[in-house]
Structure 1
Amino acid sequence: MSPRISPFRVAASAVALCGLLAGCAGTNAAGSGPDGGDNRFISGDGNVTEYKPSGRKSVQDVTGERLDGTAFKLSELKGKVVVVNFWASWCAPCRGEAPSLEQVHTENKAKGVDFVGVNFKDSKPNAQAFERKFKVTYPSLFDADGQVTLAFREVPPSAIPSTLVLDRQGRVAARVIGATTYSKLSPLVAKVVAEQ
C-alpha cells in the first residue's frame, strides 16, 4: 500500500517547481530547454542574502544520486562548509558562472570546503557534457524530477542558477539568487570558513 500524499504538499511542490522553471528557461545551442523549447532567460538579479547564525535554516535531509550514479547524502558533509549550486545545461547564465564556481572550489577545497551541484530538470548526457566542457571537478546531483531541489524549500533557491553557502552545521549561511561571480562568491565562502 503506497503512502498517501496530501493535496497541499503536491500543490506546494508544483508551485515551487514552476517558480524554479520561471527562474531560468535559458537558451541552448541545441534548443533543448526543460520543455524542449528555445526559451528566454528570466533570472534572479544576483542578489545576495546572508543569514545570522541564530536565523539559519538546516537542510541536512538532502539525498540524491550523483551524475555518475553514486548515492549522496548531504549529512555526510556535516562539519564542512558546503557550497550548493543549482544549475542546468540549458541555462545560459549557468554557463557564464561555471568558471567562477570552479575557481572558488579549487581555491577552497584544501580549507575543508566542498562544492555540490544540483542539476535541475536536465538530461544526464547534456549535464555530463556541460561538466566536461567547463572542466567542473566537483560532483553534481541529478535532479530530473526536482525532488532534490524541493528538499531546500526552507531557503529555496528560487531561480536557476542559484547558489547556497552552508555552514559547518549544515545551515544556509548565504544565498545568491541568479548567476554568481568570483568576486561575489569568494568573500561569502571566506566569511563562513572563518566562523568558529
Structure 2
Amino acid sequence: MIGPETPRRTVLRSALAATGTAALGVALAACGDKDSLSEQANSGSDKGYIAGDGVVTQLPPSKRGHPVEAGGKLLNGKHFDLADWRGNILVLNLWYAACPPCRKEAKDVEAAYRAYKDKGVRFLGVNVRDGAAAAKSYMRTFDITYPVMLDTAGRVVSALHGVLPPEATPSTLLLDPKGRIAGRVVGEVDKTTLKGMIGDLRT
C-alpha cells in the first residue's frame, strides 16, 4: 500500500503496440512492450488494490493504438457512449470505496475535474467493486461530481489486460480527443501529475 510519501513519478515515453480486445462493449489498445507495468500484469495480485510503482507512462500520437469504445449506464441513471465524447480529452479513473489510495487521491481527482470540465476535458469514474449505495456514499464523502459508472464484475479491468495489472485500483487513464489511450498512472495520482498530463494533451 502507499506510504506517507508520494512515490517519485518518472515519465516513460514507451512504445505500446496496439491490439484489439473487447468486453462489455469495451475495445481497448493493449500494451505490447514489456515494462514494469506489464510485468505486474503478468504476475497478478490478490490484495484488492495496488499502490503502483510511481511510474507515469505517456504515449506519443503514433503509439496510441485504437480508440476506446464503451457505453453503458451511469450511476445517475443516464446512458453514455464514449464515441459521443470524442473531441474532448477523457480522464478515466478506477476506484472503489474501501481502497485506501483511492480515498487519498479522491479530492485531487475531483479538483482536476472542476478545473478542466469547462475546458474540453471530461471525466468518468469506474467503480470496480461497490454497489450503488456504497459508491454514492463515497461520492458524498469526497464531494465527487464527475460521472461514475459501476463495474462490479471487473470486466473493464479485464479488457485492459496488458495495459493495467489485474488489481489495478486505483488507476487513471487519459484518452486523447480521438478516444485513444494517451497516458496511464497505476496507483495513486496526485493533482499536480494529473494536471500536467492533461496539460500535455491540451498543447
Contact persistence 2:89–2:122 (CA under 8 A): yes
Partner of 2:179: 170
Contact persistence 2:97–2:130 (CA under 8 A): yes
1:54 to 49, 59, 62: 62
Please list every run of 5 or more consecutive structure 1 residues that lacks an aligned counterpart in the other structure. 1-15, 26-40
Contact persistence 2:50–2:186 (CA under 8 A): no
Contact persistence 1:119–1:140 (CA under 8 A): yes
In the alignment of these two chains, the number of paired residues is: 161
Partner of 1:189: 198
> Percentage identity across aligned positions?
39
1:110 alignment partner, SS class: coil
TM-score under structure 1 normalisation?
0.75
TM-score under structure 2 normalisation?
0.73
1:89 maps onto 2:58 in alignment = no
Cα distance in 1, alignment partners of residues 161 and 180 from structure 2: 13
Aligned runs of 1:67-106 on 2, under 5 Å? 67-106=75-114
1:43 maps onto 2:56 in alignment = no
2:157 to 149, 153, 160: 149
1:174 alignment partner, SS class: strand
Contact persistence 1:118–1:149 (CA under 8 A): no
Please list every run of 5 or more consecutive structure 2 residues that lacks an aligned counterpart in the other structure. 1-40
Contact persistence 1:50–1:175 (CA under 8 A): yes
Query: In structure 2, do the counterparts of structure 1 residues 139 and 88 end up closer, same or farther at CA, with 3 Å as the change threshold?
Result: same
Deviation for aligned residue 1:136: 0.6
Question: Whose helix fraction is larger, Structure 1's or Structure 2's?
Answer: 1
Deviation for aligned residue 1:119: 0.4
Partner of 1:6: none
| Cα deviation 1:13-48 (Å, max 9, x = unaligned) | xxx7x94x63x62xxxxxxxxxxxxxxx54212320
